[in-house]
Amino acid sequence: MNEIIFKTEGLAKTFNRRKIFKDISFELKENSSLAITGKNGSGKSTLLKILSGILSPTRGSIEMNIGGKIIRHDSYFKKLGLVSPYLQLYDEFTGQENLELFRDIRGIEATDNYIEDLLKLFKLWERRDDFVRTYSSGMKQRLKYAFALLHNPSILLLDEPRSNLDAEGIETVYKIMEEQKKRGILIVATNDSEDIEHCEQLIDLNKQETSGK
Ligand SMILES: Nc1ncnc2c1ncn2[C@@H]1O[C@H](COP(=O)(O)OP(=O)(O)OP(=O)(O)O)[C@@H](O)[C@H]1O
Ligand SMILES: [Mg+2]
């Protein structure tokens, strides 16, 4: 297996002079997992967006190194998968088309068989030909997981992993979290104690000192 290192140093984010967090530093290697907790508005989703390369930090740095190669920020999306309430799906396409489109746009090497496996794993196979706009919120969340796993990411980032899922969906998510830890790195933004139990390390954003310089 390729060695994976994902580390940050002194990450800080300020929105319109409002300090959200400062000085987030961690170092993760393959087979490790991190939970990020904190009150509503403490910056969990913001931090995950920064880690995914969607947002820039105000200060600090991120390094992703896979198999001895530094990955450029604009290529992070090739190596990581994200499940987040902020992700948009294409409403006017079917679930299956969404995955195929994403694969083709991104140039991901995912076979039709693998897409079928993911749709079955997330219990969307029967509804694969329906437009996403007709999906329930839990079905949309399941489709986001299929997206995130399409390219077997080295790093999987989950923002509120259980959102809208039923007991069976949550069980599948925990299975995936365990598999991700065997394969790479798992980062979860959550306040749910059961989610946190699946992670070895913890950062509580409310314990970050945000006052001062
Ligand atoms: N684009 C933006 N412009 C200005 N402020 C923002 C923006 N995005 C987020 N914020 C602010 O940043 C802070 C952190 O928001 P964030 O969504 O990261 O928190 P969170 O910990 O994920 O909260 P929750 O538990 O409710 O999901 C909040 O005060 C929010 O209002
Ligand atoms: Mg959030």
Residue-wise pLDDT tens digits, 18-64:
999 999 999 999 999 999 999 999 999 999 999 999 999 999 999 99
193: domain CATH number?
3.40.50.300
Residue identifier of the C-alpha nearest atom 26 of ligand 1: 40
Q: Is 50 in the pocket of ligand 1 (CB under 6 A)?
A: no
Cα–Cα nearest to 52, from 60, 62, 42 = 62
Number of structural domains, the chain?
A: 1
211 pLDDT more than 70:
no
Which atom of ligand 1 lies at the shortest distance from residue 42's CA? 21
Position 212 in a domain:
no
d(CA 207, CA 213): 16
Beta strands across the sheet bearing 185-189: 80-83, 155-159, 185-189, 32-37, 201-204
Q: Which structural domain, as residue segments, surrounds residue 139?
A: 4-207
Which residue would you say has higher pLDDT here, 74 or 163? 163
φ, ψ of residue 38 to 5 degrees: the values are 150, 155
Atom 3 (ligand 1) nearest CA: 15
User: From the CB of 15, is ligand 1 less than 6 Å away?
Assistant: yes
Whether residue 213 is contained in a domain is answered as no
Ligand 1 pocket, 41 CB below 6 A? yes
> What pLDDT is stored for residue 152 in this prediction?
95
pLDDT, mean of residues 128-138: 98
This prediction has a pTM of 0.95
Q: Is residue 164 part of a domain?
A: yes
So what's the pLDDT on residue 13?
A: 98
In DSSP terms, which residues pair with 11 in a beta bridge?
Answer: 24
Domain for residue 202, yes or no?
yes
In the numeric block, the tokens 């393959």 are attached to: 30
Res. 1 pLDDT band, cuts 50 70 90: low
Question: Is the beta carbon of 20 within 6 A of some atom in ligand 1?
Answer: yes
Residue nearest atom 6 of ligand 1, based on CA coordinates: 15
